[in-house]
Amino acid sequence: MAIAALILGVLAICISWIPVIGTVAIIPCILSFIFSIVSISKKGSQKAMSITGLILSIISFIIISFWVLIFIMILCFDGSYDDSFSHYWNSYDYVDDYENNELYSTYSMKEDIKLSDRVIKVEKVERNQGNENFKPAEGNDFLLVTISMKNISMRDILYSCDDFLLIDNNKNEFETDYNKIHSFTTFTKDNLEKNKVKTGVLCFEIKKESKDLTLQYRNVTNHINIGLK
């Protein structure tokens, strides 16, 4: 039994080093551990082999646990981000990024933009002067951008209006405003369940002379430009 414990321990330690696949070493690992304990408890057994098998099985188990942890982390990652990441991106120098075009892929309106965990599409764009209760500042317009986003991942994802930035031909930047005009369809911040679609309106207050507008979408894993023409 001591010999079996040693052989299984060596087999487990060899297999466990293989990335991810090494998790199958759990079988010889457990058997080596059991055989080692039983062999050590017996009188007159080859304790050196048993102890070696026990040590190898414990080391194998630690390595296997590491691969299992990595596998769980991969499964749990959905491309979403927390508030600390949001703060990071909100403080980023977007003008430099905009000029450095290779950082961003460019798309057009009404195009299905497939990213790692979501599909984004600009459905409609319109300028608006608001209503009697809510108007833009003098010399400005509201720009209403209707967005649809579909979750194509295997779990819930986060979406946020803070991920969008509008840039005009003079590289003026405009962040989203709370859209009181279409308050029931505003694209805000929430979880999106898998296979579900969220459609809402982003509201920007822009200058009347702004033209050649580009909607920039950026989060931790994605950077894209969408031409609003």
Per residue in 153-178, pLDDT tens?
999 999 988 899 999 989 999 988 66
Q: Verify that 65 and 99 share a domain, yes or no.
A: no
Q: What pLDDT, on a 0 to 100 scale, did the predictor assign at position 40?
A: 80
Higher pLDDT, 62 or 96: 62
Q: What pLDDT, on a 0 to 100 scale, did the predictor assign at position 177?
A: 66
Quickly state the pLDDT bin for 229 (edges 50, 70, 90).
confident
* CA trace torsion 29, 30, 36, 38 (10° rounding): -170
Q: What pLDDT, on a 0 to 100 scale, did the predictor assign at position 132?
A: 78
Final residue of a structural domain among 49, 76, 103: 76
Q: What pLDDT, on a 0 to 100 scale, did the predictor assign at position 64?
A: 85
Q: Verify that 26 and 92 share a domain, yes or no.
A: no
Q: Verify that 67 and 87 share a domain, yes or no.
A: no
Per-residue pLDDT tens digits for 167-218: 998 999 998 866 566 665 688 889 999 999 999 999 899 999 999 999 999 8
The domain total for the chain is 2
Q: Verify that 14 and 126 share a domain, yes or no.
A: no
Q: Verify that 187 and 118 share a domain, yes or no.
A: yes
Is the confidence at residue 90, as pLDDT, over 80? no
Q: Verify that 179 and 110 share a domain, yes or no.
A: yes
Q: Verify that 138 and 30 share a domain, yes or no.
A: no
Final residue of a structural domain among 76, 92, 114: 76
Q: Which residues contact 213 (CB under 8 A, 6 or more apart)?
A: 125, 143, 166, 167, 168, 169, 206, 227, 228
Write out the H or E segment, with its range, that includes residue 158: strand 157-160
Q: Verify that 135 and 33 share a domain, yes or no.
A: no
Are 22 and 70 in contact by the 8 Å Cβ rule? The answer is no
H helices of the chain, where?
A: 2-16, 26-41, 47-76, 83-90, 94-99
Q: What pLDDT, on a 0 to 100 scale, did the predictor assign at position 180?
A: 61
Q: Verify that 45 and 142 share a domain, yes or no.
A: no
Domain coverage including residue 42: 2-76
Q: Verify that 120 and 166 share a domain, yes or no.
A: yes
Final residue of a structural domain among 16, 42, 76: 76
Per-residue pLDDT tens digits for 131-142: 877 888 899 999
Q: Verify that 62 and 47 share a domain, yes or no.
A: yes
**CATH, residue 127:** 2.60.40.1240
H helices of 77-164, where?
A: 83-90, 94-99
13, 59, 62, 74 from 49: Cα distances, Å: 15, 15, 20, 38
Summarize the confidence of residues 114-142 as an average pLDDT: 89
Q: What pLDDT, on a 0 to 100 scale, did the predictor assign at position 124?
A: 93
Q: What does pLDDT average to over the chain?
A: 81
Quickly state the pLDDT bin for 118 (edges 50, 70, 90).
very high
Percent above pLDDT 70 for the chain: 82
Q: Verify that 111 and 218 share a domain, yes or no.
A: yes
- The pairing of strands 157-160 and 164-167 is unpaired
